[in-house]
Amino acid sequence: MNPEKIPGPVVARDEEPGLWALIDEVCAAAGAPRMEVLSVVPSVEAGAYLQDRLSGDPDRMIVLGSGLVSLVTRGQLRAVLAHELYHLVSGDAAKLGWLGDMRELVDDVLDGELGGFVARLFRRPGQALLRASGRYSQAREKEADAFAVRLYGVTAHREALVKAVVGDEMFQRFTQSEVEPLLAAGVRPRRIVDGFSAYLEALEAQREEVMQDLFAQETDEIAFHPALVERLTEAAARAPDAPEAGAADDDDQPALTLWRDFEGVDERSCAAWMTALGAADHRVVEWAEAHRQIMSDAPARLREAVAPVQAAWADDGAAPAAVTDALLRALSASDPAKVAATVAGEPVEAAADAVLVMLVACLGHEAAENGARIEKGFGADMVVVRDGRRVSVVETARSLLDGVEPQATLAAFRAAVGAG
């Protein structure tokens, strides 16, 4: 086994026998070889891989996203695994892996990574390669969908696919709006799924909008996957004799019920992710505390505890700019340490970190609302970019918290991100 090829912590068979039993069951139904490695990552994705293809290493690996497992039932997880295992039994896995590497290289060339002249010279053949690889990969995805439908039914496949595609988009938004501000302020979550579940519950309307948008999309000829509606329609058409439901009696049970210690595995997965992002030494917080630090309890606590802030809130849906302005007024009106402790509900020595998290979140949201792009500045910083101008969100928040010409600092930030 080559550890460098494994994306997340490995879950042993004796550690989670129920989950492994379901994987073995689907492997047998799909005619796939017995899997040897199960790796869990913080995402809403899944995959089946042959390890180290070029060196001949025989390891066979399933990768499961902890976010995906938290969303699906056992029957839907069977359909997901059947789709991924099809790529192994059909020989697609190696080809799609090579195609993915090739497409990444072509994208880099066309984006000018090797210089403008090379990009111009290679543009036409590069675009042709992307279209050809897109047609191939989309066709293989449709075959994998139909395979999953034949084994476990239209309903299980449809519901699993919708949850995975919508969930993946929501997970990306969750990472940007909830995880990045924490890391930028020097703290990190203990687990991921707790926060992701709370995020989905709080933004149910946004999830519905994402679903509607995805159902309205048409297939892009160079995309690796077909559009969602096309996948659902063709999977059912290619497997007209598929069962309406899977054969197992436990199909409707949550996939989480397969696990002995899902929270422990999620914690290990999150820790590995944080290490990869350079945040291993950040202060660890539970999601209940993290969510409170970012936004959720801030309006109520500000109104109750800090009089200068009350005027900024007509309701709990105040804009991020209003939060920032209210905090600045409160910090300038009294002893900053005591105000920070009151606002954050923390001891004085820990309050500054909590308020810094709030400021980073508010500034980041404010920049995004005005069209700025948030770079993945994990760890020590988070940077926003607009019209070629790069501005440090964390340094701006620290300057505001330290009282270093706060009004001028905030005005310069807003001007840079187009909010002034």
Q: How many CB atoms lie within 10 A of CB 87?
A: 24
- φ, ψ dihedrals at 262, nearest 5°: -65, -40
* Angle, vertex CA 278, rays to CA 327 and CA 182, nearest 5: 20
Rounded distance between C-alpha atoms, residue 40 and residue 33, angstroms: 20
- Which positions ≥6 away from 131 have C-beta within 8 Å? 221, 222
Q: How many CB atoms lie within 10 A of CB 307?
A: 12
Q: Which ranges of 66-115 would DSSP assign to H, the alpha helix?
A: 66-71, 74-89, 92-110
Comparing CA positions, the residue from 379, 383, 378, 390 lying closest to residue 416 is 390
CA 383 to chain centre: 19
Q: How many CB atoms lie within 10 A of CB 209?
A: 11
Rounded distance between C-alpha atoms, residue 257 and residue 242, angstroms: 26
Res 1: pLDDT:
40
pLDDT of the chain, 420 residues: tens digit per residue: 445 567 889 999 999 999 999 999 999 999 999 999 999 999 999 988 876 555 444 478 899 999 999 999 999 999 999 999 998 888 776 666 666 667 677 666 666 555 565 566 667 776 777 777 778 888 889 999 999 999 999 899 999 999 999 999 899 888 877 787 778 777 888 999 988 998 888 778 778 888 888 888 888 887 778 899 999 888 888 776 666 655 567 888 999 999 999 999 999 999 999 998 888 898 888 887 765 555 444 434 333 434 444 344 334 555 667 767 777 766 665 555 555 655 555 554 555 666 777 777 778 777 777 777 766 554 445 666 766 677 788 888 888 877 667 788 888 888 887 765
Rounded distance between C-alpha atoms, residue 333 and residue 70, angstroms: 45
Strands 389-392 and 383-386: antiparallel
Res 58: pLDDT:
45
Res 71: pLDDT:
96
The enclosing H or E element of 337 equals: helix 336-344
Which pair of structure tokens corresponds to residue 114?
Answer: 């090797």
| pTM (global) more than 0.75 | no
Which pair of structure tokens corresponds to residue 13?
Answer: 């068979």
* Residue ranges covered by each domain of the chain: 3-276, 295-416
Res 8: pLDDT:
87
Q: How many CB atoms lie within 10 A of CB 367?
A: 27
Res 257: pLDDT:
95
Res 115: pLDDT:
56
Can you tell me whether residue 393 is helix, strand or coil?
helix
* Angle, vertex CA 136, rays to CA 127 and CA 116, nearest 5: 15
- φ, ψ dihedrals at 162, nearest 5°: -65, -45
